[in-house]
Structure 1
Amino acid sequence: MTESPVKTSRSGHVLEVTLDRPKANAIDIATSRILGEVFRDFRDDPDMRVALITGAGEKFFCPGWDLKAAADGDAVDGDYGPGGFGGIQEMRAMNKPIIAAVNGICCGGGLEWALSADIILAADHAQFALPEIRSGTVADAASVKLPKRIPYHIAMEMLLTGRWIDAEEAARWGLVNQVHPAGDLMAKAREMAGHLASGPPLVYAALKEIVREAEAMTFQDAMNRITRRQFETVDVLYASEDQAEGARAFAEKRDPVWKGK
């Protein structure tokens, strides 16, 4: 029986997902479908609050699309499964925080996979690039996402030239949140995941829906939808036990106990 290229483990309310496809953790269609099923189950499991994604080994986070598999017949426009490429880029209603721990080379579709996370931590030896231009194709998701995440001119330079940047430069442009020594990366990522897992899940859901949907709205239209409770997650939050618990805990000067309902 072939070993799965996707390893998962649970710790409390945190799901850890490790891409493990030697030699480089590239993603083919079969792996993307597995990831999609993993993240769909994560999204729908009320006990899971935070996901942490990383790559196996010390050299590669993910180089993206598996070109060898493509040469053997994997279609670039094939069925990537739930959530599209890598399982999270197009996953509908993904209203839970995702952390990427970039432990090495992160390029092409691998960088697009990391960009699908909400928080990115990087090892100090990590490197980032969008080399698609050199193989005559387009970094489609990165073309949409990257100019909105970092300065436009830096994003376009990466897209147009395929230039590599190191972890320090990635942090300088705001592409990653934090850079850590390689040996500390996973401990720091798990610490961040644990911190988020102890927070209010209904607030996280509302934040993610608002941020996602407001991107295509004017400020006033977004504010109107929030105040009128026209976002489903906001409506659930405002009518929840957790909303009342937060106010009680503040008044009583104690830590709140979040139930996610």
Structure 2
Amino acid sequence: MTASPAGLRYESKDGIAVVTLDRPARHNAIDLTTAAELTALWRDVRFRDDINVIVLTGAGDQAFCTGIDRTAEVPQPASPYSTDDPLLAIGPKANDLWKPVIAAVNGMACGGAFYLLGESEFVIAAEHATFFDPHTTYGMVSAYEAISMAQRMPYGEVMRMSLMGTAERISARRAYETGLVSEVVPGPALLDAALRAAAVIASHPTEAVQGTVRAVWSSREAARAQALAHAPHLIALGNLPPDRQTELFTGRSRHFRVR
């Protein structure tokens, strides 16, 4: 097993790599260094002939990932036509990796976590896992996240999650019912369940597996690309100024309900 300063852990065996977001004190939120490390990792795995399948998870049992770290300062270009989003390149597909990724979700998955879930082949969740999108609560447009989930969930479920913000969390069971999650298991069995599925896939010829991933991804790619093209403009128009976002973030009640 290896660890990076960014808080990633990586280990591999029998054709399977396990990638762990290892910042539990920050609920596995992604800072700029971690984002860069994820990009580099996916691009490296493209050339690893000994790796056929990846399991992606988060350290601890409180969170899989809670998106970008709120303490991260993201420099922005002066041009109103450009927006830098460090999370856009943290997923495997953004880095031309077509080896399948299984997401093992333990605890909260929210906000920018959907960049990763949206580029995973399927999701296995612990019974205590919850999913929510906080953007609108804090005066931010949910664009990339909602677009990713629109590829996996019914329209009404995506809209409800995106618009309810922090007021409501989707339980693992409800996520299974709506198609976001393919399997729900007890928390202690989560990684074993993901590894069992990965072992089956890793036993198949990798060329056929990667071709299948690419074929299915292409079935939704055109609509996704069109939607993503609108995202930066909608974010620029709809986001409150950063100081207003911070004001809402620090002033909102943390009460919520799980459905």
Give, in whole Å, the separation in 1 of the partners of 2:61 and 2:93.
24
With CA pairs under 8 Å and 6+ residues apart, which has the higher RCO, 1 or 2?
A: 2
Query: Is the contact between residue 58 and residue 64 of structure 2 (CA under 8 Å) also seen in structure 1?
Result: yes
User: Could you tell me how far 1:85 is from its partner in structure 2?
Assistant: 4.0
2:207 equivalent in structure 1:
202
Unaligned runs of 5+ in 1: 219-261
CA–CA distance in 2 between the matches of 1:38 and 1:14? Answer: 14
Match of 1:188 among 190, 193, 202: 193
Percent identity over paired residues: 33
Alignment match, 1:7: 9
Query: Are residue 175 (structure 1) and residue 170 (structure 2) matched?
Result: no
Q: Are 2:153 and 1:147 equivalent residues in the alignment?
A: no
> What SS does structure 2 have at the residue aligned with 1:44?
coil
Q: How does 1:205-216 map to 2 (within 5 A)?
A: 205-216=210-221
Structure 2 SS opposite 1:125: coil
- SS of structure 2 residue aligned to 1:116: coil
TM-score, structure 1 length as denominator? Answer: 0.75
3-state SS, counterpart of residue 121 of structure 1: strand
Q: For this pair of structures, how many residues does the alignment match?
A: 211
Question: Residues 27 and 86 of structure 1 are in contact (CA less than 8 Å); yes or no, is this contact kept in structure 2?
Answer: no
* Residue 94 of structure 2, aligned match among 90, 97, 100: 90
Larger radius of gyration: 1
Paired position in structure 2 for 1:104:
107
Q: Provide the rounded CA distance (Å) in 2 between the counterparts of 1:66 and 1:85.
A: 16
Match of 1:119 in 2: 122
What's the TM-score once normalised by structure 2's chain length? 0.76
11, 23, 28: which one pairs with 1:25?
28
**Residue in 2 that maps onto 1:164:** 169
User: 1:97: how far off?
Assistant: 0.6
Shift, 1:78, TM fit: 3.8
Distance of 1:60 and 1:112 partners within structure 2: 15
C-alpha deviation, 1:144, in angstroms: 1.6
Compared CA separation, residues 46 and 144, structure 1 to 2 (3 A): same
Distance 1:101 1:193 in 2: 11
CA, structure 1 residues 126+46, in 2 after alignment: closer, same or farther (shift >3 Å)?
same
Counterpart CA distance in 2 for 1:199 and 1:150 is 28
Alignment CA distance shift 1:78-1:28 (3 Å)? farther
| Residue identity opposite 1:194 in structure 2 | A
Equivalent pair of 1:102/1:122 in contact (CA under 8 Å): yes
- SS state at 1:164 partner: strand
Amino acid at match of 1:48: I
Report deviation, 1:108: 0.4
Q: Any conservation in 2 of the 1:50–1:193 contact (CA below 8 Å)?
A: yes
Quote the offset at 1:146 in angstroms.
1.5
- 1:65 correspondence with 2:68: yes
State the one-letter code of the partner of 2:86: Y
Distance 1:75 1:167 in 2: 35
Match of 2:251 in 1: none
- Give the drift of 1:199: 1.0
Instruction: Write the distance in 2 (CA, Å) between the matches of 1:197 and 1:206.
Output: 14
User: In 2 relative to 1, CA 139–62 (structure 1 residues): closer, same or farther, beyond 3 Å?
Assistant: same
Q: Distance in 2 between matches of 1:87 and 1:175?
A: 17
